[in-house]
Amino acid sequence: MTMELAIETRGLTKMFEDKLAVNALDLKVVKGSIYGFLGLNGAGKTTTIKMLLNLVYPTSGEAFVLGHDVVKDSVKIREKVGFVPEESHLYDYMRVSELIDFCRAIYSNWQVREVGRYLDLFELPLGKKVKELSKGMKNQLNLVLALGAGPELVILDEPTGGLDPVKTRDFFRVILEQVAEIGQTVFFSSHRLHEVERVADTVGIIHKGKLVFSKSLDDIKTNLKKIRVVFSEETSIAGLEKMPGVNMIKRQGRGYILECDGSVEQVKAKLNELNPVDIEVIDVGLEDVFMRYTGGGGDG
């Protein structure tokens, strides 16, 4: 395992009876990154996260979190990782303030000042019992507790499901502040593309249990482009699909759309030799990438 990786999986696989939920996943999450793990409903996000936390046992393959084997060293991982689950598992009968005191007593590295700041920002009612909180409030409390322990890595499973847009913004502000201050790694699953585009620096897409895409957002912005080309008459661009960096060519009217990964200028120069009437380079957003790799579905 390379030291710079916070998470690494090799051929990680989970079968639930005859259902292949995660299929030979090779994931690499660099330390200090904010990694958005995207996928449609049922793609395998939660199962992957549960395997990283040893809540689900892999069928085959291996996984390391902060250099520790997820099966053999799960106790060490728990000490260093903050987890915000999709569904709250907090002690319902406790008051918010009691739960915070309880966690403060357990964790030696409890971040008193930060926790105070987050509680103020989220305006969580300290005197209320956990069971009296709304779903969004429970999400926020989960985040405060996860970050309060001062973890090296924070794993969040669809963390903003119950949050309104203002709270979602606050939620990620808190995470980004922490990352900027102490260089934490954040790994979060989501199907909200705009949220991921705004917050993450690296994106992975899981589809039917397979990791089908993983790149930095900078790389996407710089290298992934579409070229739309129009000709005045029927023109063949056969051979261009073999050019390095050309991912896909689609016909469109009297022209074509070419999807490129890098080498846009070279492809454009080749097309210009064919005297097009119009040629245009179009930026590719995360939504385009997501649609392409998941077959056009998604609720982001």
Does 207 bind ligand ATP (CB under 6 A)? Our answer is no
Q: Nearer Cβ to ligand ATP, position 114 or 158?
A: 158
Window contacting ligand ATP (CB under 6 A); options: 15-23, 90-98, 274-282, 286-294: 15-23
3-state secondary structure 104-161: HHHCCCCCHHHHHHHHHHHCCCCCCEHHHCCHHHHHHHHHHHHHHCCCCEEEEECCCC
Give the nearest distance from C-beta 169 to ligand ATP in angstroms: 22
Give the nearest distance from C-beta 290 to ligand ATP in angstroms: 13
Q: Nearer Cβ to ligand ATP, position 43 or 141?
A: 43
Give the nearest distance from C-beta 47 to ligand ATP in angstroms: 3
Distance CA 100, CA 98 (A): 5
Give the nearest distance from C-beta 105 to ligand ATP in angstroms: 33
Window contacting ligand ATP (CB under 6 A); options: 16-24, 61-69, 164-172, 269-277: 16-24
Does 21 bind ligand ATP (CB under 6 A)? Our answer is yes
What sign for the dihedral angle of Cα 125, 123, 157, 64?
negative
User: 96: Cβ–Cβ under 8 A, 6 or more apart, which residues?
Assistant: 124, 125, 126, 127, 128, 129, 130, 133, 141
How far is the first Cα of the chain from the last one, in angstroms, to the nearest whole number?
34
Q: Interface residues for ligand ATP in 27-46 (CB under 6 A)?
A: 39, 41-46
Among 2, 4, 11, 19, binds ligand ATP (CB under 6 A): 19
Give the nearest distance from C-beta 157 to ligand ATP in angstroms: 7
Q: Nearer Cβ to ligand ATP, position 7 or 21?
A: 21
Give the nearest distance from C-beta 163 to ligand ATP in angstroms: 16
Give the nearest distance from C-beta 37 to ligand ATP in angstroms: 9
Q: Nearer Cβ to ligand ATP, position 21 or 264?
A: 21
> Residue 33 in contact with residue 185, Cβ under 8 Å?
yes
* Assigned token pair, 162: 């119950």
Distance CA 257, CA 264 (A): 12
Does 192 bind ligand ATP (CB under 6 A)? Our answer is no
Strands 255-261 and 28-30: unpaired
Bridge partners (DSSP) listed for residue 138: none
Q: Nearer Cβ to ligand ATP, position 43 or 70?
A: 43
DSSP 248: E
Q: Footprint of ligand ATP on this chain (CB under 6 A)?
A: 16, 19, 21, 39, 41-47, 191
